[in-house]
Structure 1
């Protein structure tokens, strides 16, 4: 099993901000579990104000300025497992065209994040863990061909009202 930092290198090579990276890691983990009933990486995902965050990945790239792409010099290794690379390419194909803030809006509409936040107010800091298991993923299902369905970002939120919201404010 890989770490979330290992998986992050795949997306860094594609060109991502720290905020966008966090949301791509979330969807990578969720959809991998839906497809294979195993976790892609061992790290927990927390329900932060601006959506799902893997804390140790955030710690690694937290110094990068808002809106800046993470430099490829941080890539330490490549993912060699063809099944995982194929999965990550599928995630990129579906979610890679969204901005970090659009992905914030999308993750805020997901029951996994909503349930992990519970009764916490939207602006309150939280380190609650997003639980990914058989029961919690019932909202996620593959299409008839066994593929991840195209994301529907018809939610209105942070990206719609304020595209200047801090990438650094997870």
Structure 2
């Protein structure tokens, strides 16, 4: 089951608020999402979440996640992201509610991937992670110019970073 990118982003934010992930900036969040999606694709053959990465100047970016957290600039993210959805129990077609998407707390596979990405990459800064995505042979680097175009899922799975192809 693929989650929303915002639900997975919120899982990283939750761990940061618990003190398990230092200095979670919007850039760092983007790169951690890129690595968790890449590793999940490589190991499971399907995406963990349902959004695509674009090739931006500072590496792979999910535009919707960028817009959700851009207000933090280069600062630490303080709160989870939310979305507006129709209120399911209302007969009013204009009734909406704000929800904070989450991954299923019983999904140990997804939680395990998130925790492993934190273990491997969590101590690095957003800039360090961005530099890693720019290395020769990475999915970001081989998929084209930083023109906002998509990074294909199969390329992400096969070209995570040079030491792990």
Superposition TM-score, scaled by structure 1 size: 0.72
Q: Residue 47 of structure 1 corresponds to which residue in structure 2?
A: 55
Instruction: State how 1:9-158 maps to structure 2 within 5 Å.
Output: 9-15=10-16, 16-66=24-74, 68-74=75-81, 76-80=100-104, 81-109=107-135, 110-117=137-144, 120=145, 126-133=147-154, 137-140=157-160
Change in CA separation of 1:14 and 1:130 when aligned onto 2, cut-off 3 Å: same
Q: Please give the per-residue CA displacement for 1:65-114, whole angstroms capped at 9, x wherever unaligned.
A: 32x11113547243221110011101110010100000011111152101
Partner of 1:162: none
User: Which consecutive residues of structure 1, in runs of 5 or more, have no partner in the other structure?
Assistant: 142-149, 152-170
Q: CA deviation at 1:35?
A: 0.6
Equivalent residues of 1:24, 1:91 under 8 A apart: yes
Q: SS at 1:43's partner residue?
A: coil
- How many residues align? The count is 135
CA radius of gyration, larger in: 2
Give how far 1:53 is off.
0.2
Deviation track 1:147-166 (CA, whole Å, cap 9, x = no partner) reads xxx98xxxxxxxxxxxxxxx
- Is residue 68–residue 81 contact of structure 2 (8 Å, CA) maintained in 1? no
Q: How well do the aligned residues superpose, as a CA RMSD in angstroms?
A: 2.2
Give 1:2 shift.
0.4
